[in-house]
Structure 1
Amino acid sequence: MKPTLIHSVVIASLGLAAPLALGESMPPTAEEQKALTPKAVLDDLMAGNARYVAETPEASDVSDRIDAGTKGQWPMAYVLSCVDSRVPVEQVFDQGIGDVFVGRVAGNIESTEQLGSMEFATAAAGSKLIFVLGHEACGAVKGACDGVKLGNLTDLLAEIQPAVDGVTGVEGDRSSKNKEFVDAVIEKNVQKTIADIRERSEVIADLEKKGSVMIVGGIYSLETGKVTLLESDK
Structure 2
Amino acid sequence: MSDQLPQDPSRRSMLRRALTLSAVSVTGIASVTIPSISFADSLSKEDRDDMTPDGVIEHFKKGNLRFRENKPLKHDYLAQKRQSTAGQYPAAVILSCIDSRVAAEIVLDAGIGETFNSRVAGNITNGDMLGSMEFACAVAGAKLVVVMGHTKCGAVKGAIANAQLGNLTGLLDKIKPAIEKTQYSGERKASNYDFVNAVARKNVELTVENIRRNSPVLKELEDKKKIKIVGSMYHLEGGRVEFFEVDD
Q: Deviations over 1:92-129 (max 9, x none)?
A: 00001111111000000011111011001000000000
- Given that 1:109 and 1:159 are in contact with CA atoms closer than 8 Å, whether structure 2 keeps it comes out as yes
What is the CA-CA distance between 1:150 and the residue it aligns to? 1.0
Unaligned runs of 5+ in 2: 1-6, 15-30
Does 2:22 match 1:5?
A: no
Q: 2:84: which partner in 1?
A: 69
- Given that 1:4 and 1:21 are in contact with CA atoms closer than 8 Å, whether structure 2 keeps it comes out as no
Distance 1:50 1:176, change over 3 A: same
**Alignment coverage as a number of residue pairs:** 225
Distance in 1 (alpha carbons) for counterparts of 2:32 and 2:213: 40
Distance in 1 (alpha carbons) for counterparts of 2:217 and 2:134: 7
Does 2:200 match 1:186?
A: yes
Does 2:133 match 1:128?
A: no
Distance 1:40 1:21, change over 3 A: farther
Q: Deviations over 1:145-175 (max 9, x none)?
A: 0111111001100100100111123222x22
Backbone CA RMSD of aligned residues: 2.0
- Given that 2:208 and 2:246 are in contact with CA atoms closer than 8 Å, whether structure 1 keeps it comes out as no
Distance 1:152 1:188, change over 3 A: same
Distance 1:18 1:66, change over 3 A: farther
Q: Deviations over 1:55-113 (max 9, x none)?
A: 00011212210110111100000111000001111110000111111100000001111
Q: Deviations over 1:165-212 (max 9, x none)?
A: 11123222x221122211110110000000000000000000000111
1:11-26 alignment runs, 5 A limit: 21=35, 23-26=38-41
Does 2:132 match 1:117?
A: yes
Distance in 1 (alpha carbons) for counterparts of 2:13 and 2:88: 20
Residue 97 of structure 1, aligned match among 82, 103, 112: 112
- Given that 1:133 and 1:218 are in contact with CA atoms closer than 8 Å, whether structure 2 keeps it comes out as yes
Distance in 2 (alpha carbons) for counterparts of 1:197 and 1:144: 21
Distance in 2 (alpha carbons) for counterparts of 1:145 and 1:170: 15
Higher strand fraction (1 or 2): 2
Q: Please identify the structure whose Cα radius of gyration is greater.
A: 2
Residue 70 of structure 2, aligned match among 37, 55, 64: 55
Q: Deviations over 1:11-36 (max 9, x none)?
A: xxxxxx99664732212112222121
1:159-174 alignment runs, 5 A limit: 159-172=174-187, 174=188
Q: 1:220: which partner in 2?
A: 234
Does 2:214 match 1:200?
A: yes
Distance 1:56 1:167, change over 3 A: same
Unaligned runs of 5+ in 1: 10-16
Matched letter for residue 87 of structure 2: G
TM-score (norm 2): 0.85
Residue 107 of structure 1, aligned match among 97, 101, 122: 122
Distance in 1 (alpha carbons) for counterparts of 2:235 and 2:11: 28
- Given that 1:3 and 1:21 are in contact with CA atoms closer than 8 Å, whether structure 2 keeps it comes out as no
Residue 170 of structure 2, aligned match among 155, 178, 183: 155
